[in-house]
């Protein structure tokens, strides 16, 4: 994949509005590079642009994160929508948090989602978790872990962005409150390790 030339390399946190950064818990860890590219597409953990012939039929995505190499690629079209760019960057930031969160926290957040399932909740706080939720049949295995991860990242983006309403925020308010309580409780005295 070729990265669009001419756009500056910045860190992910540098791209977030100051008001959003102030809402976040303290962040610890090495910088995360952000690059912009047009027409991002993905298939089975592979990222490309629509201009690449093999990817023309792959689904469009807003961003892709590579935790090990500490960089995130974002669709350049988001530069025209600061609100959506903020939401997507927060989602991607929390993929780095998820990778360093630890099993007890992951299981704890998974329990919140299991309680929602037991209460027959519907909806989600983002497209990525909504898509994965459709394929989860039992709270076991890879599909469950992927869903919990995406729900965590979408919830964090909703919780810290300050965006009150969005077409992808379809989870009922009572479940949103429970997720917000989990984030407030878990990160009240902890830094976001990225």
Q: List, for residues 140-190, the tens digit of each pLDDT value.
A: 788 999 999 999 999 999 999 999 999 999 999 999 999 999 999 999 888
Cα dihedral 114, 173, 152, 134, rounded to 10, equals 60
Residue the block writes with tokens 């949103």: 176
What average pLDDT does this structure show over 125-149? 89
Four-residue CA torsion sign, 43, 48, 51, 53:
negative
Domain boundaries, the chain: 10-193
Half-sphere exposure of 43 (CA within 13 A, CB side): 10
Strand partners, 104: none
**Of the listed ranges 33-47, 67-81, 140-154, 157-171, the one predicted with least confidence:** 33-47
The conformation of residue 46, written as its DSSP 8-state character, comes to E
Kindly report the pTM of this predicted structure: 0.89
Q: Return phi, psi of residue 47, to 5°.
A: -120, 140
Instruction: Please name which of 21, 6, 138 lies closest in space to residue 89, comparing C-alpha atoms.
Output: 21
106-126 tens-digit pLDDT: 999 999 999 999 999 999 999
What are the residues facing 74 on neighbouring strands?
A: 36, 63
Strands (E), the chain: 10-11, 27-28, 33-37, 40-43, 46-49, 63-66, 71-75, 192-193
State the Cα–Cα distance between residues 105 and 111, nearest whole angstrom.
Answer: 10
């Amino acid at each position: 994949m070729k990265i669009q030339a001419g756009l500056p390399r910045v860190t992910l946190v540098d791209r977030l509005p100051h008001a959003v950064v102030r809402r976040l818990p303290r962040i610890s860890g090495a910088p995360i590079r952000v690059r912009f590219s047009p027409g991002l597409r993905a298939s089975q953990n592979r990222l490309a642009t629509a201009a690449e012939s093999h990817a023309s039929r792959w689904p469009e995505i807003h961003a892709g994160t590579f935790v090990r190499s500490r960089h995130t690629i974002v669709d350049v079209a988001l530069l025209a929508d600061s609100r959506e760019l903020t939401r997507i960057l927060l989602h991607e930031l929390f993929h780095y948090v998820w990778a360093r969160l630890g099993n007890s926290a992951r299981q704890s957040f998974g329990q919140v989602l299991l309680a929602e399932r037991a209460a027959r909740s519907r909806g989600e706080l983002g497209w990525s978790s909504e898509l994965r939720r459709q394929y989860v049949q039992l709270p076991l295995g890879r599909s469950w872990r992927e869903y919990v991860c995406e729900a965590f990242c979408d919830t964090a983006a909703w919780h810290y962005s300050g965006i009150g309403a969005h077409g992808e925020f379809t989870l009922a308010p009572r479940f949103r409150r429970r997720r917000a309580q989990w984030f407030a409780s878990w990160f009240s005295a902890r830094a976001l390790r990225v």
